[in-house]
Each structure stands twice: as structure tokens, then as C-alpha cells.
Amino acid sequence: MIIGCREGTQVDMMAAVEDPIARAASIVGRGGCVALTGAGVSVASGIPDFRSKGGLWDIFDPMEYATADAWESDPGKVWRLFRATGRMVLGARPNAAHESLARLEAGGWISAVVTQNIDGLHQAAGSRSVVEFHGSAVDVFCDACGRTVERREALGFLEGEGAPSCSACGGHVRPSVVLFGEPIPTGALRTAVSLAASCRSMLVVGTSAVVAPASLLPLEARAHGAPLIEVNDERTDLTDGCSVVLRGRAEEILPSLVEGVEAGATGFSRSNNV
């Protein structure tokens, strides 16, 4: 489609075929694409990769603060991490990467975003079909009775000390973030695997895809014949298995991809009208 809408000399066609953005746009433009996103998508929103220098794991040893055992033995301690995460996430706004993915969904090219991020920024950008593989820092619930805590009440938990209590049952409340040693929420896992198994292509953005089971999703997609497109500013273990590799920052690459997909769609409908 991209090739068809360019003004047709053979040289132009070759250039279009070799341009990775155009190749990616032609794949995404077929529709049925699922995006798998990770930390790299939110860096431009001021949320450093937890694993990077200056990230949360630099301040809080994850094996001390972010495990199921820590939550069992000392929930007040884990809340120090939850408060730091909550303040960082609530102060952040979506960037061009989140907005581009929302636009691709609105245009009907992307069917869902599966994210390993816990910041809620895909939803804030307008994405509607979002699977939060590792839970959310902004959704708070009671660990004892399961009650969902309203956002306004949850915001109050950012102040104070220790683990806040549920106003209904007195149990400990917490964000739905998945801690180390806890399973991926069953619904999210089931939906993500089903999306990976049925997508027509997968756009893997800002993630080195090393943490299982999220890392298995691109492999599942590829096993079912869906081409993988990688958007990352560095090489990952997935790179060699990708059909197209777009090297650069997500917030810079994705707007170009959207432009390519939209141009392809316009060219397609124009040629249909002839």
C-alpha cells in the first residue's frame, strides 16, 4: 500500500521497500496488530526504567522491598516503595509514544496494547484495550476483602506512614502491582496469550523482553506466523527474530510509523476510489 501511493518509478519503489519505517507501516497497516510495551515507552514521561541507573531499583533493593514475602512480613516497608512509585507515576503525563499507539488503535490497526508498565499512561493517552501484565500502581484494592478503593481515597494513602487500612474491613490495602513471587493476574495472562496467538503482527516497543512470562508473548506470536517489529534504542535478545527493526527511541519512532500507516491507508482508499 505504501509503495502504491508513491509516485511510481522503480527507484522510488525500491526506496520504499528498503525503508524500515515503510516496511513496518505496511505490516501494521494490515490491521490486527498487538503492541507489547515496556519501560522504554515511559522514559520520555520521566519514569526511568526500574532497572536503569537512577531507577527505583537503585533506591529500593527489589528483593528487599518488592517481593510477596516482604508484603507478608512487613507491609509497611513495601508501602515505602508503593508511595515512591505512586508519586512518580501520578506526576507523569503520556508522551508521543503512548499517543501514537492510542492513535493506531483508534484507526483500527492495533487491536490491543499489552504492557509491562504499571503507570497507567497508555489509558491516559486514550488507549482503550490495555492489558496490564504487571498490574497497576494507580489501582488500589484491599488485600483482605478485595474491595476496590476509589481513586480519591487512594491518593490519600500517598501521605503518612506504614500500610494503610481498608475502611470496610481493616485489612491492608495495596496497589495491584505484581510483586516478585506473585503470579501474573490470571485474566491478564489469559488475554495476553490469546492476543499473542491470534495477532497478525506484534509491535514490541521499549522492552528487552527478558522477563518471563511477558518475554514468551513475542515468541508465541512468531510461532503463529505473525511478523515481529521491534522498536528499541538498543539491540535485544529478540532483535534477530524480528522482521523489521526500528532502532531509536519510542517517542521518536512511533509518530513516524503512524504517519506511514495513515499515508498507506489514504493511498489505499484513494486507489479504491479510482
> Which residues 27-56 are close enough to bind Zn ion by CB under 5 A?
none
Q: Per-residue contact track with Zn ion, 151 to 180, x per CB under 5 A?
A: ---------------x-xx-x---------
Nearer Cβ to Zn ion (78/221): 78
Measured CA to CA, the distance from residue 253 to residue 121 in angstroms comes to 18
Backbone angles phi, psi at 193, to 5 degrees: -65, -40
Dihedral sign computed on CA atoms, order 11, 12, 14, 19: positive
Nearer to Zn ion, 142 or 204 (CB): 142
Question: Could you tell me the smallest distance in angstroms from the CB atom of residue 173 to Zn ion?
Answer: 7
Return all residues near 112 (Cβ < 8 A) that are at least 6 apart. 34, 35, 105, 129, 130, 131, 191, 195
At closest approach, how far in Å is the CB of 24 from Zn ion? 47
| Interface positions, 108-147, toward Zn ion (CB under 5 A) | 142, 144-145, 147
Question: In this structure, are residues 111 and 199 in contact, taking their beta carbons and an 8 Å threshold?
Answer: yes
List Cβ neighbours of 45 (8 Å cut-off, separation of 6 or more): 92, 93, 94, 95, 98, 119, 121
Task: Kindly tell me which of 13 and 169 has the beta carbon lying closer to Zn ion.
Answer: 169
Beta strands in the chain (DSSP E): 33-37, 110-115, 130-132, 140-142, 148-149, 173-175, 201-205, 228-232, 244-247
# residues near Zn ion by CB under 5 A:
8
Q: How far is CA 251 from CA 26, 46, 115, in A?
A: 20, 12, 16
Least Å from the CB of residue 153 to Zn ion: 12
Whole-angstrom distance, CA of residue 163 vs CA of residue 78: 8
- How far CA 40 is from CA of 117, 226, 233, 245, in Å, comes to 9, 23, 9, 15
134 belongs to the catalytic site = yes
- Of 171 and 267, nearer to Zn ion (C-beta) is 171
* Nearest-approach distance from CB 82 to Zn ion, in angstroms: 17
Which positions from 232 through 261 interact with Zn ion, judged by CB under 5 A?
A: none
Active-site residue identified among 98, 122, 134, 172: 134
Nearest distance from residue 175's CB to Zn ion, in Å?
15
164 or 218, CB closer to Zn ion?
164
Residue whose grid cell is 474491595: 147
Which residues would be at the binding site for Zn ion (CB under 5 A)?
142, 144-145, 147, 166, 168-169, 171
Positions annotated as catalytic residues are: 134
